[in-house]
Structure 1
Amino acid sequence: MLVLLGAMLWLALAAAPARAGEKEDNAIIAVVDKIVSQDIANANFGDARKKLKGLAAKCKKGCGNRAVSQIHLALGIISAQLGQADDAKSEWFDALNADPSATLPATGIAPPVRQKFEQIQKAWVAANPQMDDAQKAGWVNKDAFELAKAAIAAATAENWNECIEKDKAALAQEEQLRARVHLAECESKAGKIIDALRDNQKALEAARKANDTATVKLVQERVLALLPRLARVKFEAPKDAVDLKVSFDDRAIPTARLSEAFTIDPGQHTVHAEGVLRGARVAYDDKVDVKEGEVHVVKIVLKPAALTEGQLQCMVSAKTQEEIAACLPSERKPLVVHLGFDMSAYADTTAVRVITPGLQASVTSPTAGWNVGGNYLLDVLSAASPDLVASASRRFHDERHAASLFGGYKPGRFGGQIFGNYSQERDYISRSLGLSLSGDFMDKQVTPSLGFTHTQDTIGRTGVDYDIYSKPFAINEFAAGVTTILSPTSLLVTGVTVGLESGDQSKPYRYVPFFEPGVSVPNGASPDEVNAARLPAKALEQLPTSRQRYSLAARYIARIKGNRTLRIEERLYYDSWQIMGSTTDARYLIDLTARLRVWPHVHLHAQKGAKFYQRVYGATLNSDGSAFIPRFRSTDRELATMFGVTGGGGVRYAVTDPSSNFQLAFFSTVDALYNQYLNALYITNRLAVYGTVGVEVDFE
């Protein structure tokens, strides 16, 4: 009686307008009735099953639930008559899923078959409440009840993923035994055996707690049926591979457990592995199809890698396009020597010209974990900018020599890097010494780092001995960051930097014009306009003698489609002078062939000016000839509100075969830079071109 009441309530809830294909459904039902009354009644089970399967195939193109239900009822009768209890249960469950009011014919059915159907019908009702009212169906939350009904409808349509989604949403709002059982059944149908077992376990615990013996029995039967469907996977790795890392469906497998059998769902899975084999960095990627109940052995065959963790880490520390390119796929040697030479040139619309030749050299042992190296560059500068014109200065010429040395050691999880820099020009000497420490955690998926750099500069004046005139300037910089391997081909680097500056960094040549109160000149006013409006006296630039800089940065690098690499960086900046800025940089490296790589490059920068910066500084002249002037003052337009856009690209060509022990490559980059100054003297914008050509050699 309760079953019939539940079926009636379900029909009331699911009532809908008559379908256009109702006549076709009635015709199919009539055929099913004939098969039951003739073929099945005469024990002609083979022909009966064949006819019913044909009707079921026809219904895949579109039949009503009642017609589908009658077909499964008849197929269940055949299975029950033949003693195939599991098949009968499956067919009758499908019949009730399609039409909860389905029942056997009133006559012509053997009592044992009818008794078996009634038992299965009770089990189905226990797992699938068909009430039209949330409280009657055992729900407190009406929204959860509606989601559970939607899950049942999705299951009827064999849309298992939607069924899982709706049931999970319902259970997130309210835990309910029958919904948990239904979720497990949908997961089972979708091939998610592990999830189905997990949810059946939860349902079993709830049923035992509620003393619901019918549901306990139902769930136990389902669990026993699910266990043989589980699959397992093992890994067979090369014996001489070192630093081997294996991931299965993007989940890392501990190296010590590779020989174990891992329980998985049947279906398609992805496998990735990378390591060092005979001194070369190698990798393995594959997709495997695992059948139900199968123990699948993945034989890892390592080949030259497309992009490895080591190359990704190299890209993190790269500062130029060519350095990034050098990190991309190439064999890793036991000991690698790198030599490079490049020539850069810069020119802009303010008549600044710079030529910069540079040398680089390093020796690296990827397997032992140490590296040493250094570089040297020379800046040859000439300028006749509006700032020089405004101060009646001659064209400016200078040279800057800069050298650096570095070395590091990371034999295992932890390592360190030290570096030192020295540069000198006619009126400026800079010295830096730094240390960074890093460690690998979570199977090298997460690498935090800490660093400190001290810079001690001496500011002088051209033509004057440092013993006569010099100003000290110091910077203490603290950095902390973390590198996270997101997947075998992508990583994310985040970090924060704090720089503490002390000392007077005012330029000894930069003079600031002053104006009477109420007098102004427009943005970008020429030197003639400024000189015509200013007061006779000018004063040297004076900046605050301390500054605290703060920056937050993120870098994302990903290998895309096997031959492309995306690198995006973002940096947010703020300092105690109240300059706020944002800098975005992006490169997209494309391997056109194994030897030829090209990349576009874009760089965006915007900032708000310093709190003390003004385009027009007012001054008050006193009767005694003295003047009251601002304490802090500067005409440095880089301290003003501004924005800049840079665009360009580069190319790298490997002369030698990428697989050879000797690597020779040429590279070139060109960028155009445009800055717009919104509150500055002399100019409103600057256009510049910067380019580099170079050659690099790597050999074992």
Structure 2
Amino acid sequence: MAARGNAPEAVESSDEGEPSETETETETETEDEDEAETETEAETEDENEAERAPPVSAEVATSLYVRSDSDGTTVVAPRIHFHQDFGRTGVDLVYTTDVWTSASVDIRTAASPRVSEQRDELDVGVDHERGTWLVGAGYRYSQEADYRAHGPSLSAAWEGLQRNIRLEGRAALSRDRVGRAGDPDFERELTSLAVWLGYTQVLGRGTLLQIAGEHRSSFGYHASPYRWVGLGGPVTCTAQTPLCVPEVVPATRHRYALALRLRQSLARRLSLGVGYRYYIDSWLLQSHTAAGDLRFVPRPSLMISAEYRAYFQGAAWFYSSAYDLDAGPFVTRDRELSSMYDHEFMAALRWTRALSVAAVELGLGVRAGAVLYGYDDFPGLARVVAGEGSVSFSVALR
């Protein structure tokens, strides 16, 4: 839902300690893909002038995201977002579709041809502002050929001390059904509950601090119905593998994350943001994320930014690159549960223009970046290089 008020909006983190790659097979993901990391959006003095502009009464925004990597995976994801204000009440409607094709190492080792799938998602939200409070509710439905997820969400935010402090929280429930292509009798369930809390404070002119924490619990089927694990030989199932069994992971997972974000204005048109995030879960997977970005606003209608993120992750306690014949009870060959790291570089540009003939504002955004993934202990794959980019366009009525 659209954030109101002068305080910046924070976005929840993703399922894992941090997302590493776009998944190359059907995974039991339960949260929005765009909830990538806990962050704070803080603007420079020129950007603050935009906050004093008349409120948006209606807005339509579209975007197209494209990603391709050296492991044979391509993702194309168009998105459209409609927002309408009715006084102090706002309504949001978002439709997203993800179309991906892949011949990754996971698919090749399963002796499968190139796979292509599509996921469609609809999000509906409503929020209401009353005094210093903003409350909201939403519902999400996601559908693909072998996976269905849906669930409600609630949010609340309070601003005080002349909007120098913002407290906010969100809770979401997701009920998922996991299927398997070609097997109508296969059906598993996964239930997830997530709670996110954030505290944001203006420390001084041009300085903004945010502390955020998240807890997420999921119960049910966490494995991939397409992933098999070799025992007593190569972990990939080949002719030399004595025994291949379906992937089995624990039925319960509890995730915890704590994040700190600081933004400092360096000059009238320049600001620096830095952040750190620590993650740990009940599978003993831990991760550390450090991020930084530099933003330059040559004029109120134009913002240019450069971003960098470094991510380091340890392995889950039951992950191994090779299992004995008597291994158990849990076995996996999920690269996302192995020891890994990634480095991401991103550049972005955002331009807006108010039309003089009407109360209309046009917006255009472009993002492009590259990511290097490294796997310390995953057989058959050591490095993946990915390129990604997006373009967005918006029309707002004031």
Within 5 Å, give how 1:549-560 maps onto structure 2: 549-560=255-266
The whole-number CA distance in structure 2 between the counterparts of 1:358 and 1:313 is 23
In structure 1, give the amino acid aligned to 2:98. D
TM-superposed CA distance for 1:357, in Å, is 0.8
Q: Give the secondary-structure state (helix, strand or coil) at the position aligned to 1:592.
A: strand
TM-score (normalised: structure 1): 0.49
| Contact in 2 for aligned 1:446/1:483 (Cα 8 Å) | yes
Instruction: Tell me which of 427, 431, 456 is aligned to 2:146.
Output: 427
TM-superposed CA distance for 1:493, in Å, is 1.6
| Contact in 1 for aligned 2:59/2:396 (Cα 8 Å) | yes
| Equivalent residue number for residue 505 of structure 1 | 222
Within 5 Å, give how 1:67-466 maps onto structure 2: 310-314=5-9, 329-330=49-50, 331-364=52-85, 369-465=88-184
Alpha carbons of 1:562 and 1:634: their partners in 2 closer, same or farther (altered >3 Å)? same
The whole-number CA distance in structure 2 between the counterparts of 1:320 and 1:311 is 22
In structure 2, give the amino acid aligned to 1:424. Q
The whole-number CA distance in structure 2 between the counterparts of 1:559 and 1:546 is 43
| Equivalent residue number for residue 348 of structure 2 | 650
The whole-number CA distance in structure 1 between the counterparts of 2:204 and 2:310 is 28
In structure 1, give the amino acid aligned to 2:351. Y
Instruction: Tell me which of 679, 687, 699 is aligned to 2:377.
Output: 679
TM-superposed CA distance for 1:678, in Å, is 0.4
In structure 1, give the amino acid aligned to 2:127. G
The whole-number CA distance in structure 1 between the counterparts of 2:10 and 2:197 is 18
| Contact in 2 for aligned 1:427/1:461 (Cα 8 Å) | yes
| Contact in 2 for aligned 1:316/1:493 (Cα 8 Å) | no
| Contact in 1 for aligned 2:344/2:372 (Cα 8 Å) | yes
Encode CA deviations 1:634-673: one digit per residue, 9 max, x unaligned: 1111100111000020112334469973111221101101
Matched, 1:638 2:336: yes
Encode CA deviations 1:420-476: one digit per residue, 9 max, x unaligned: 2111111111112111222234443322223321111111111343xx321110111
Q: Give the secondary-structure state (helix, strand or coil) at the position aligned to 2:336.
A: helix
The whole-number CA distance in structure 1 between the counterparts of 2:367 and 2:307 is 10
Matched, 1:583 2:289: yes
Instruction: Tell me which of 528, 546, 559 is aligned to 2:252.
Output: 546
TM-superposed CA distance for 1:548, in Å, is 0.7
Q: Give the secondary-structure state (helix, strand or coil) at the position aligned to 1:469.
A: strand
The whole-number CA distance in structure 2 between the counterparts of 1:659 and 1:598 is 27
Matched, 1:534 2:241: yes
Structure 1 residues not aligned, in runs of 5+: 1-308, 522-526, 620-627
| Equivalent residue number for residue 387 of structure 2 | 689
Instruction: Tell me which of 454, 464, 470 is aligned to 2:187.
Output: 470
Instruction: Tell me which of 661, 664, 668 is aligned to 2:362.
Output: 664
| Equivalent residue number for residue 204 of structure 2 | 487
What percent identity do the matched residue pairs reach? 21
TM-score (normalised: structure 2): 0.85
The whole-number CA distance in structure 1 between the counterparts of 2:220 and 2:88 is 39
Alpha carbons of 1:378 and 1:328: their partners in 2 closer, same or farther (altered >3 Å)? farther
In structure 2, give the amino acid aligned to 1:389. R
TM-superposed CA distance for 1:564, in Å, is 2.4
| Equivalent residue number for residue 27 of structure 2 | none
Encode CA deviations 1:287-323: one digit per residue, 9 max, x unaligned: xxxxxxxxxxxxxxxxxxxxxx9444247799699x9
| Equivalent residue number for residue 229 of structure 1 | none
Alpha carbons of 1:347 and 1:337: their partners in 2 closer, same or farther (altered >3 Å)? same
The whole-number CA distance in structure 1 between the counterparts of 2:207 and 2:356 is 23
Q: Which has the higher strand share?
A: 2
| Contact in 1 for aligned 2:7/2:163 (Cα 8 Å) | no
| Equivalent residue number for residue 190 of structure 1 | none
Q: Which has the higher helix share?
A: 1
Q: Larger deviation: 636-645 or 652-661?
A: 652-661
TM-superposed CA distance for 1:555, in Å, is 2.2
In structure 2, give the amino acid aligned to 1:666. L
Alpha carbons of 1:369 and 1:561: their partners in 2 closer, same or farther (altered >3 Å)? farther
**What RMSD over aligned residues (CA atoms) do the two structures have, in Å?**
2.8
TM-superposed CA distance for 1:510, in Å, is 0.4
Structure 2 residues not aligned, in runs of 5+: 13-33
| Equivalent residue number for residue 88 of structure 1 | none
Greater RCO, 1 or 2 (C-alpha within 8 Å, sep 6+): 2
Q: Larger deviation: 478-487 or 376-385?
A: 478-487
Alpha carbons of 1:547 and 1:648: their partners in 2 closer, same or farther (altered >3 Å)? same
Alpha carbons of 1:694 and 1:335: their partners in 2 closer, same or farther (altered >3 Å)? closer
| Contact in 2 for aligned 1:354/1:381 (Cα 8 Å) | yes
Encode CA deviations 1:104-125: one digit per residue, 9 max, x unaligned: xxxxxxxxxxxxxxxxxxxxxx
- Structure with the greater alpha carbon radius of gyration: 1
In structure 1, give the amino acid aligned to 2:258. L
In structure 1, give the amino acid aligned to 2:366. S
TM-superposed CA distance for 1:606, in Å, is 0.5
Encode CA deviations 1:580-639: one digit per residue, 9 max, x unaligned: 0012232222113343321111111111100000001111xxxxxxxx342101111110
In structure 1, give the amino acid aligned to 2:307. H
The whole-number CA distance in structure 1 between the counterparts of 2:201 and 2:287 is 26
Alpha carbons of 1:461 and 1:556: their partners in 2 closer, same or farther (altered >3 Å)? same
In structure 2, give the amino acid aligned to 1:669. R
Q: Give the secondary-structure state (helix, strand or coil) at the position aligned to 2:377.
A: coil
The whole-number CA distance in structure 1 between the counterparts of 2:11 and 2:105 is 39
TM-superposed CA distance for 1:546, in Å, is 0.3
Alpha carbons of 1:320 and 1:580: their partners in 2 closer, same or farther (altered >3 Å)? closer
| Equivalent residue number for residue 213 of structure 2 | 496
In structure 2, give the amino acid aligned to 1:349. S
Q: Give the secondary-structure state (helix, strand or coil) at the position aligned to 2:108.
A: helix
| Equivalent residue number for residue 320 of structure 2 | 614
Alpha carbons of 1:311 and 1:557: their partners in 2 closer, same or farther (altered >3 Å)? farther
| Contact in 2 for aligned 1:370/1:411 (Cα 8 Å) | no
